[in-house]
Structure formats: structure tokens, C-alpha cells
Amino acid sequence: MWDELIDDNGEPRAAAAAVVQQLQELGLSELQQRQDLAELDIVGMGITFTVYSDGRGIDRAWPFDIIPRVIAADEWRRVELGLMQRLRAINAFIDDLYHEQRVIADGVFPAALLEHSVNFRPQCRGVSPKYGVWAHICGSDLVRDADGTMYVLEDNLRVPSGVSYVLENRAISKRAFADLFAQQSILPVDAYTDELKRMLASLAPDDVADPTVVVLTPGIFNSAYFEHSFLAQRMGAALVEGADLVVGDDDCVYMRTIDGRERVDVIYRRVDDLFLDPDEFRPDSALGVPGLMRAWRAGNVAIANAPGAGVADDKVVYAWVPDLIRYYLHEEALLPNVPTYRCVYDDERQHVLDNIGEMVVKPANESGGYGLLIGNRASRTELDEAIANIEADPRNWVAQPILSLSTAPTLCDGRIEPRHVDLRPFILSGAGQYVTAGGLTRVALRRGSLVVNSSQGGGSKDTWIVET
């Protein structure tokens, strides 16, 4: 097991030395007091997320553990390069899929997989977003295995959330550990919203001098509403709902203001593809804007992420990313994928079938863990069933070795204990690229648990990129 702060000999890792020393000096009761104060700050600052219970959304205080997760700056720079490389390839891939599909013609990506993709949108064929970029904002989940290798676990390209908590966690942890921030150089995270604003503005149609950028939210009942509001506030952009927008006869998008209609140039949408435009996707969607796709195709408005970008947010495409990097960029991946065996290929399928007891088997096109099998926790009957499923429809299955996620010291009921963590950095792509300094560290607060989702008992930590 790899711990983020402590090495195998029980000594602090170099970048974490100051934090570990401070934790020892403070002692548990002082630490608990600071934790309590941080929680008060979170309530007072109204930092919340929404959980659903009995069909009602309840606003909960954001769960936060004050002990930071520390990453050395030189390691982080390599991760950053790897993430940017990844997104360049992914964007080239999406753009290719909606144009000539060279990647299929050249035999790199199987045509059959695209036919089965639930996130490919034929409505987007032939559209050319600026810079060839479709996935402008990506949240990639990283995990570290027992040997310390950092892997990409998945790329969230549709409406990834969590970045507001990166900034809020930092604000809270500066209060909790002001002295540590004074002593060492911890990379700031605040620039994100400025970078986001600049990137979004750069997407505006070319003839617009001073573009109007808006954030499109499904509304206050969405679990990420806090973040939508936060980002709009930080960018000084209007936070709009579908009903605030209207597409005119001129195929331009307008918002309804107290002074009549005003033109919108860029939409940072936090609404899923299928709800964007009831004229072209789900006709029952009340969250979208009729005619929006028409305006987008006409080039009168930019949408980030572009409709259809989700085609690459998929366990199948994930497995191909190293090949895509090679194909489009003629480079080797700087940041490894978790080795992923694609059952559509005979040799890889055989490996899965031979080692199924030590694999996580995932259906390619389902999300939310449905149909997922963890080999070493499954019964013989479950394993046999999985084998039968794979053999019946190999295209629909991928498998990965079981990773042992790294841990970080976490304050649990007055004691410091190791808990499993992951990391979600955010990558912006426009004319250039930008990666958050660190990202959102999510922590599974229950002992032994690997579930980091805040809706299921997960918490969060501030992530410190420390110069050593």
C-alpha cells in the first residue's frame, strides 16, 4: 500500500515533511479544533452540495478533511504534461470522428465500437468548433497504485464537476494552516477561473469583439448548482437557465434581460447533451433551449464542452487513448492508462478469461458501476456468468487489473488513519492548454472503502503541490 504522505519506513515523504511535522507538533486535540473550525467556515460560507432523498434535494455542508494531500511539484509537472498530451489526442479524435473518421479508415479504432457508442451524436457531424477543440473542460480521475505509479482511471468530458471545491478547499485550508503556507511554496489554485474565462471568451465567433459568456445550469435542484453559481460569480458571467435563453429567427442566441433580449456568444453549459435542445434531442427536456443546436451549427454561438464531445467519455475509448496518442501525436503516452484489456481482441480476451479472478470487469457502455465485477470479491457463479457474458458479446466488455488505491492520513473520529484517495485535476483546452495546480482529492472516509463520491460518504482534501 502506498501512502501519499508517509513512506514505507514510516518517514514523511520529502514534499510532506513540513505538514507531517506540523501535525505532530499540533497534537490531536488542536488538530480536531482546527477541523471543527473549518467545518464552521464551510457552513458559514455556504459551501454545499446537494444530495437527493425522497425525491427532494437537500443542501449538505461540503465534507472536508483538513489534512492536505501533498504532491511534489516536479512529479506534478510530469503529470501536467501527460494530461495535456492526453487531451490533445482526445480532441483530435473527437474532431476526426465527426469529420473523415481517418482513425477508423486506418484501422486504429474499430468501426463497430462507434456504432455502439451511446454518446456519439450524428447531429454534430461536419461541425468544426474553433481550434478543433471539443472537450474544452475535462476532469480526469487519477489514482496511484501500490508501487507509486499514477494512472489515469477515466476522463470526464461531458459536464465534469468539482473544480469549485478545489478553490474552496484551498480557502479553508489557508485558514487552518496559515503558518505552513507562509513557510513553504505551495502552488496557488486561484487562477483557474481566470483561465477558464479567458479560454471561454476565446471561443466566441470571430467577429465578436467583447464576447458575452454565460454559464448554463439545469437549475438550483442540480447537485452541482453550487459550482455553477460559484463559477459564474468568479467569472462575472451570467448564470442562465434554459428558459432564460431564446434562439431568434436569425439563428442567434439571446438571453432575456430586464432591458429586452441580449446576444450570447459563448455558453459554458453544465447541462447534458440530451437535454440541450428539445428540437433535436429529448423533446421533453425543459432544461434546454429549442434551436440551440441550429445556432451552434451556424457558428453563431460557441458551446463548451461542444455537443457530442462525450463520445470520448466512455470506457471503450479510454482503452484506446494510448493508441490515439500514438496515432494523432506520434508520441508515447506520458501518463499511463490503467492497463485495460479489450475483450474485442482475441489475445486480450484470453488474458481476461484466464485471470478473471484478479480483474475488474466493466461493461463498456454503462456508467455508474452497473454490471461491474470485481474478480477477487466475486463468487464462482458470478465469475462464470461474467465469462459467459464476455464470450457472448466481447465488444461490450473491458477488464483491468485490481489496483490498490493509495491512502492519505485522514482525521477520523479524533484519530489519524489512512484512507483511500483519488485525484481529479481539470484540464482546459482552447487555443492553448491549462491544468489546475493539483485538483480535487476525494477521500473514502470509511475504513477500507474505495468509494470517494461525496453522495456516498466520501470527503475531500486540499491538494498541495509543493516545491521541494
Question: Which residues of the chain form contacts with other proteins (CB under 8 A)?
Answer: 43-46, 212, 220, 229-230, 232-233, 236-241, 243-244, 255-262
Beta carbon nearer to other proteins, 113 or 232? 232
Beta carbon nearer to other proteins, 224 or 240? 240
Among the listed residues 458, 440, 437, the one whose alpha carbon sits nearest the alpha carbon of residue 449:
458
The region, left, alpha or beta by phi > 0 then psi within -120 to 50, assigned to residue 132 is: left
Q: Say which residue the cell 438550483 belongs to.
A: 220
| Residues in a beta bridge with 466 | 72, 186
Beta carbon nearer to other proteins, 24 or 233? 233
CB-count exposure of residue 86 (10 Å: 0-12, 13-18, 19+) = buried
What is the DSSP-derived secondary structure letter of residue 244? G
φ, ψ of residue 354 in degrees (nearest 5): -70, -30
Beta carbon nearer to other proteins, 244 or 323? 244
Q: Say which residue the cell 480476451 belongs to.
A: 349
Smallest separation (angstroms) from other proteins to the CB of 226: 9
Beta carbon nearer to other proteins, 212 or 460? 212
Which set of grid coordinates corresponds to residue 352?
Answer: 481476461
Beta carbon nearer to other proteins, 215 or 390? 215
CB atoms near residue 176 (< 10 Å): 20
Beta carbon nearer to other proteins, 244 or 382? 244
- CA 123 and chain centroid, separation: 25
Q: What angle do CA 309, 312, 317 make, to 5 degrees?
A: 170
Smallest separation (angstroms) from other proteins to the CB of 244: 5
- Biggest CA pair distance of the chain: 69
Smallest separation (angstroms) from other proteins to the CB of 180: 25
Strand 458-466 versus strand 440-444 pairing type: antiparallel
Smallest separation (angstroms) from other proteins to the CB of 241: 7
Beta carbon nearer to other proteins, 88 or 270? 270
Smallest separation (angstroms) from other proteins to the CB of 155: 28
Dist. CA 72–CA 19, nearest whole Å:
13
- Judge contact between 135 and 91, C-beta under 8 A: yes
